[in-house]
Amino acid sequence: MITSAPPEFILTDTTGVVIATSGSTASILSTSGASTGDVLTVQGDGTLNFATPVVTESLTDLDEWTANTLTVPGALTVRQAGGVAGTDEVQIYHDGTDAYVDSQSGDLIFNNSNAKVDSSGNFTNSRGVTDTEVFGSEITAVAAVRSVIIGNNAMRGVDHSTWNDKVIIGYNAYCNASAGIAIGSSAVVNGSGSIAIGYGTTATSAYQLVVGRIQSAYFGRGVTHSSPEDFTLHATGGSGTDISGANLILAGGKPTGAGTPGQVQFQVAPSGASGTTLGTLATVGLFDEQGLTVRQAGGVAGTDEVQIYHDGTDGYIVSQSGLLRTTGTLYISDTPQIYFAGSVFEPSTINFRNYSAIKAKAGFGSHSDFSLLFESPVNTTVMIVERTGRVGIGIGATRPDYLFELGGEFALNELSADPSDPDEGKSVLWQSDGTGSGDDGDIMVKITAGGVTKTATLIDFSAV
């Protein structure tokens, strides 16, 4: 029965009576004989409340009400007209912790089948495009298939059905090519197969990887680890018979105009004192527009370096300080030439230290009989050491016929003292100045044989 103020209006139909009042509670009573009490109460502030979970057929005019709140004990069940209870239904309820919208069969569909939650709980929003997922506000254009677009204003309101197979994640991110990936706020891909990662990055052509605002990259097990692992960077290898592998190319930044090109540097951290402090990286090698520079770890630039370069005419290996050394064997193959360059008045000097020697194990070009050839600056052969040990001086580029062959004169400078006694079976020849054995101008000889050394005058200058 009605326990409120006089009604403001009454709606009726063939099955029920609807009464509404202002400022108090009214009831809808069933006229079909239900005696379970009030079915629906209407508050004066516009709140509708079901008093019991049973809704009778007499409430056919429920859609004529406009309410702010609908409260249902347990769950609100919406069933397909003529559908099967417990199957063709959607339930809306709260379990005291979480709220639920639960389809008892099939998927939960939003926005005319473009967005849905399937029976496994997976959420998808295709926007009507095959195999595409779209999440975010202000995404006004979606045409690419097999794509993922996530973020406010992603694709910037522009898309094309030929820009397929792309991934776009981030506010205002954009990709105007197929198979591109743009990740980050305002990231842009302008070429097929390219990847742009980071705020405001742009891939400008096809098959680029652009990572913005990153100054250090670590691969393996993080920045530091108690058990670091090696990391190998590979170019693509061949597949099939006799297929060449791809080159691995490292490139410094390109300058504009007269700017300096970026270097390709190699750095290591030299060992320090025992402890847990990380070492400091130091450049040990670099490539620039001049060539290759190898620097001592922690050394001084421009001083503790070796440079290898070519000036367009000649190649150079230059030690910026100290000596240029080799601790092993230096082989020179085929028919090269080595020049030790100096000025006309200050020629270069070759020093051999610690009992070093020059050794040649093969002939030079057409001179297959020769181990060493010494030539003058005008390419005249002045000395030949034949590979069997014969020596020729002044005989040209011909093979010497004797152990020692001289193609010209030789001079003796007078000595002011006798030379040391020669070893057993040897002799020594000299010109005396009259201080030691012999008179001034005499040609002397000293011979050791049978353990005895004797000195004699070969040429008596006064008698000539």
What is the tally of structural domains in the chain? Answer: 5
Q: Which of 177, 192, 211 is the last residue of a domain?
A: 211
User: What is the pairing mode between strands 427-433 and 414-415?
Assistant: parallel
Residue 197 within a domain = yes
Instruction: Please compute, for residue 461, the number of CA atoms within 13 A of its CA located in the half-sphere on the CB side.
Output: 13
Name the pTM for this structure.
0.58
Q: What percent of the chain has pLDDT over 70?
A: 73
Q: Are residues 138 and 67 in the same domain?
A: no
Q: CB-based contacts of 216: which residues, under 8 Å, 6+ apart?
A: none
pLDDT in tens, 338-386: 655 555 445 556 665 555 555 554 444 444 555 677 777 666 778 888 7
Distance between CA atoms of 96 and 70, rounded to whole angstroms?
17
Residue 192 within a domain = yes
Q: Are residues 315 and 337 in the same domain?
A: no
Residue 4 within a domain = no
Residue 124 within a domain = yes
Q: Are residues 360 and 315 in the same domain?
A: no
pLDDT at residue 60, rounded to an integer: 40
Q: Give the CA distances from residue 317 to residues 113, 301, 309, in Å, rounded to whole numbers and listed in that order.
A: 73, 16, 7
pLDDT at residue 333, rounded to an integer: 62
Q: Are residues 41 and 93 in the same domain?
A: yes
Distance between CA atoms of 81 and 449, rounded to whole angstroms?
136
Q: CB-based contacts of 21: which residues, under 8 Å, 6+ apart?
A: 4, 5, 6, 7, 8, 42, 44
Q: Are residues 188 and 131 in the same domain?
A: yes
Residue 356 within a domain = yes
Q: Are residues 130 and 165 in the same domain?
A: yes
Residue 271 within a domain = no
Q: Which of 323, 344, 372 is the last residue of a domain?
A: 323
pLDDT at residue 446, rounded to an integer: 95
pLDDT in tens, 216-261: 999 999 999 999 999 999 999 999 999 999 999 999 999 999 999 9
Q: Are residues 45 and 91 in the same domain?
A: yes
The closest of 384, 385, 403 to 394, measured between CA atoms, is 384
The two three-digit tokens of residue 401, written as one number: 């016929």
Q: Are residues 298 and 340 in the same domain?
A: no
Residue 94 within a domain = yes
Amino acid 455 reads T
Strand, helix or coil for residue 462: helix
Low-confidence ranges of the chain (pLDDT < 50): 1-39, 42-48, 50-68, 344-345, 361-367
Q: Give the CA distances from residue 194 to residues 38, 168, 241, 243, in Å, rounded to whole numbers and listed in that order.
A: 67, 12, 30, 26
Q: Are residues 43 and 128 in the same domain?
A: no
Q: Which of 103, 137, 169 is the last residue of a domain?
A: 103
pLDDT at residue 113, rounded to an integer: 63
pLDDT at residue 332, rounded to an integer: 62
Mean per-residue pLDDT over the chain, rounded: 79
Residue 63: give the domain boundaries: 9-103
Q: Are residues 396 and 342 in the same domain?
A: yes
pLDDT at residue 350, rounded to an integer: 61
Q: Are residues 346 and 398 in the same domain?
A: yes
Quick check: 177 and 189 in contact, CB under 8 A? yes
Q: Which DSSP string corresponds to 395-438?
A: S-SS--SSSEEESS-----EESSPPPPPPTT-EEEEEEESSSSS
C-alpha angle 312/318/320, rounded to 5°?
130
Q: Are residues 402 and 420 in the same domain?
A: no
Residue 86 within a domain = yes
